[in-house]
Chain A
Amino acid sequence: MQMKSQALTLPALTLRFCILIAFIVLATWGVHMIREALDLQIRPDNEQQVHKAIMLGAVAYISLLAIPFVPGAEIGIALLSGFGAAIAPLIYVCTIAAMMLAFMIGRFLPTAALERLLRDLRLRRAADLVARAAPLSKDDRIAMLLEGQSKRFLPLALRYRYVALAIALNTPGNSIIGGGGGIMILAGLSEIFSPMLTFVTIIIAVSPVPLAVFYFGLGL
């Protein structure tokens, strides 16, 4: 029975791997096509406008990335697509700022006020997430943060919670539990993360993509 299961799993895994590779190739090709289509050249006559657009984009990126379930990462990808690897350091710094903003919101804003604020902003799913986390104990909030992980994994995750936080932030599909903003608000709400150690964790956790783009370019 087990052998049959393995026989079924291997082709499925191979298929998924091939789909993933195809997706990466198509995405890379798409990014190059978008860059060429936009033909964004920074010249003396448009530099001021480009600068303003980048500043607006950076503010929007930080604000949206800090909100649970709101797709902010796309703005970062759009900026990277438009302006290339040179913008990667700014995206990296903005990502850290967004994550710390979400953490501070969770940590210092009273839960009821946060829930009300999100409802006023018509962010119903984000408000529901906060409402769901509010009555839970600190440990249960961590468990919620790691939703979908094996139960056996939880004690280990609590012990090495900063590593767990970094993994949660980098796990594909984490948007199901609120994305980066949602995870960081939950981390703040749990009150078991020290702000400074969280800060160091974030610096490391969000570095792979921007640093890879910065050092290897968009042709990865």
Chain B
Amino acid sequence: MTHILHIAAITFATFGTGAATLSVMNEDIPDLAIPEGNWATTGALDGMTFQVSGKDVDRGAELTDEIVFRDGTFQSTDCEQYCNFGWSDYQTKEVDGVIHFTATTICPDAPHTVVWYGTVSGGTASIDVTWTTRRWYWTNQMRIQGTGTALPSAAVTS
């Protein structure tokens, strides 16, 4: 019985110290910083779809995506391939005739958080994205920048 208690105590100390060490050493990488402002759920971009060409800022990989706005919600078709993010609420604000939008999408099956910020002017969009994965032992982030053009309603695939 004493042996079992000793083993339990050592195991507890090892795991406790391990968890404490990892939480101290695992530096968080903050999500994309969204500019302050009068963000509101307006549905201002509802019905719009953009074909986006982007680039992984750190690794240079080329990416393509289609982002869809519908009923006050937002979806990236590319992100849906990797996780069932579903439709997420988006917010907008208008500054000098340019619509700014932001959305935060969270993967229900894995620790992925994707933060979107973009501007829409006329039929073009400019976007910044961070895809952050926070595992218990490290945090990994992919930064993406891209531009998109609005698709006519008939061309929308989703």
Q: What are 12 inter-chain pairs, A to B, with CB distance below 8 A? A: A44-B79, A44-B112, A44-B142, A45-B81, A47-B110, A54-B137, A86-B140, A88-B25, A93-B21, A93-B22, A93-B137, A97-B15
Query: Are A45 and B82 in touch, CB under 8 angstroms?
Result: yes
In-complex Cβ contact of B14 among A44, A87, A100, A108 (8 A): A100
Q: A64 near B: Cβ within 8 Å? A: no
Stretch at the interface among B5-13, B30-38, B115-123, B147-155: B5-13
B139 to chain A, nearest CB (A): 8
Q: Which residues of A contact B17 (CB under 8 A)?
A: 93, 96, 199, 203
Nearest chain B residue, comparing its CB with the CB of A199? B13
Nearest chain A residue, comparing its CB with the CB of B10? A195
Q: B138 near A: Cβ within 8 Å? A: yes
CA–CA, A97 and B81, complex, Å: 37
Interface residues of A (CB under 8 A from B): 41-45, 47-48, 51, 54, 86-90, 92-93, 96-97, 100, 103-104, 107-108, 195-196, 199, 203, 214
Query: Are B110 and A108 in touch, CB under 8 angstroms?
Result: no
Q: A41-B59, A93-B22 are in contact. Are A199 and B138 (CB under 8 A)?
A: no
Interface residues of B (CB under 8 A from A): 3, 6-7, 9-10, 13-15, 17-18, 21-22, 25-26, 56, 59, 61, 79, 81-83, 110, 112, 131, 133, 135, 137-138, 140, 142
Q: Which residues of A contact B140 (CB under 8 A)?
A: 42, 47, 86
In-complex Cβ contact of B6 among A43, A54, A89, A108 (8 A): A108
Q: Which residues of A contact B142 (CB under 8 A)?
A: 42-44
Nearest chain B residue, comparing its CB with the CB of A108? B3
Query: Are B135 and A51 in touch, CB under 8 angstroms?
Result: yes
Query: Are A89 and B26 in touch, CB under 8 angstroms?
Result: yes
Closest 7 CB pairs of A and B: A89-B25, A93-B18, A44-B82, A90-B137, A86-B138, A100-B14, A42-B140
CA–CA, A108 and B3, complex, Å: 7
CA–CA, A87 and B79, complex, Å: 26
In-complex Cβ contact of A44 among B18, B83, B135 (8 A): B83
Q: Which residues of A contact B137 (CB under 8 A)?
A: 54, 87, 89-90, 93
Q: Which residues of B contact A97 (CB under 8 A)?
A: 14-15, 18
In-complex Cβ contact of B22 among A54, A89, A199, A203 (8 A): A89
Nearest chain B residue, comparing its CB with the CB of A100? B14
A151 to chain B, nearest CB (A): 33
B116 to chain A, nearest CB (A): 14
Query: Are A48 and B110 in touch, CB under 8 angstroms?
Result: yes
Q: A42-B142, A93-B17, A199-B10 are in contact. List 17 more A-B contacts (CB 8 A).
A: A41-B59, A42-B140, A44-B79, A44-B82, A44-B131, A44-B142, A47-B82, A47-B133, A48-B110, A89-B21, A89-B137, A90-B22, A90-B137, A92-B21, A93-B18, A108-B3, A108-B7
Q: Which residues of B contact A42 (CB under 8 A)?
A: 133, 140, 142
CA–CA, A191 and B56, complex, Å: 55
Query: Are A87 and B10 in touch, CB under 8 angstroms?
Result: no
